[in-house]
Amino acid sequence: MATGIGKKRRYEGFRFYLPKDAWIITATSAFWGIGSFMYSPFQSIFFKALGMPLVYIALIAAISSVVTAAALILGGYLADAYGRRKVIVIFSTISAGSALMYVFINSWQIILIPVIISALCSIYTPAFNSILTESMREDMRPTGFASFAMLNTLPAIFAPFIGGLLMVHYGDINGIKIAFFISGMLGLVAMFVRAIKLGETYKPKQRLKEPFLKHIRDVLNGYAYALKKANGDAKKLLMYAITSSIAASFTTIFISLYLVNQLNLSPLTYGLLSGITGIATVIVLIPTVRIIKRAGLKKAAILSALFSPLSMFIFVSSNGMNDLLAWSVTGGVGGALAQPSMSTLQGNLSEKEIRGRLMALFSVMPLLAAFPAQILSGYLYANVSYLSTFLISIPFYVISIFILTRLNIK
């Protein structure tokens, strides 16, 4: 009898928790991710293969951050003014279609067009995050976000390797174009499912009756109100998001270029390293909920943040494949702990009335802070040294950890 109870408890500890609407957006996101994970690790390589200078690659990323921030500001307001579902269906469909535009790109001078369109479609992100949060019971959010992260990470295990395989067989440009095409088609199918299956989790009290442009002041006042109403811990978490975003901005753009062009790894090997990160994430996500419940959200968040500077230190001091494998695994472990703990913190620290706007601020302000950091990363990588942009990220990661220690929660 005791053995049976133990088995039941182990099962319940690892069970998935995704209510209907959360399940729909998770399943469609994971399905779409099969395509997007094929190209996303190699996007900087694609840009460079088209002839884009290194500094411009960083500039494109910075412009995308600013446009995305503007889209999120609008998106958070629309999510609270019109509800979640409509915003998600319309703009995620456009986002899926924008991937198909890359198939016709043959010059780096016009690549800004699909980049901007894709960034603008981030309008739906606050609604996406809000509906995911609101469809879950508050006490089950760590389990729900862990389930969401696990399913969305599964494509990252095999899709980057397929992307690398496409590059080896068809070249850096045509191989990634095939990946973009696959992503666009899978995305359109996923959005069709959202359109017919996704429900609504929030009915706003009032809807806008006039064109949006006449409500710019209301939009800004709404965000100022949300920020003012947010409690002290929410503001500290926002500062953490800003600082860690600055750190990440110094690293993410040029990792693939450094590994493939400077360390002479094949795209297949880099795809394999990305897959190992995904495997580590999925494995660690299984006990993550127990870790969060036993240690508490604060300690779990701090633990996850500690892996960021550790991972980057391993990367900059790597001297062979074993070190790169350690870097991949460390990044996967940190990501597994971070996704459910940070998402749960954001959801728990935001009231439903302002959740759309506050969720947007958790993305907008880090993106605005990333703009100068991304431009500086391009200068450092192109003119100082290849490792300088990665090294400068480490102190920012350390500062972000200190901010988390100031949270007044368990």
- Report the pLDDT averaged over residues 164-181: 94
- The per-residue pLDDT for range 48-95, each reduced to its tens digit, is 999 999 999 999 999 999 999 888 888 877 777 777 788 888 888 888
How many other C-beta atoms are found inside a 10 Å radius of the C-beta of residue 228? 9
- Topology of 17-202+219-405 in CATH? Growth Hormone; Chain: A; (1.20.1250)
Contacts of 282 (CB under 8 A, 6+ apart): 150, 153, 154, 157, 336
* Domain ranges (residues) in the chain: 17-202+219-405
Q: What are the φ and ψ backbone dihedral angles of 135, each rounded to 5 degrees?
A: -80, -10
Q: Are 79 and 130 in contact (CB under 8 A)?
A: yes
Q: Is the pLDDT of residue 27 over 80?
A: yes
Q: Give the CA angle between residues 129, 163, 43 to the nearest 5°.
A: 65
- The per-residue pLDDT for range 219-276, each reduced to its tens digit, is 777 778 888 887 788 888 899 999 999 999 999 999 999 999 889 999 999 999 999 9
DSSP state of 136: S
In angstroms, rounded to a whole number, what is the distance separating the alpha carbons of residues 286 and 295? 15
Give the SS3 label for residue 209: coil
Extract the tokens encoding 22: 């959360």
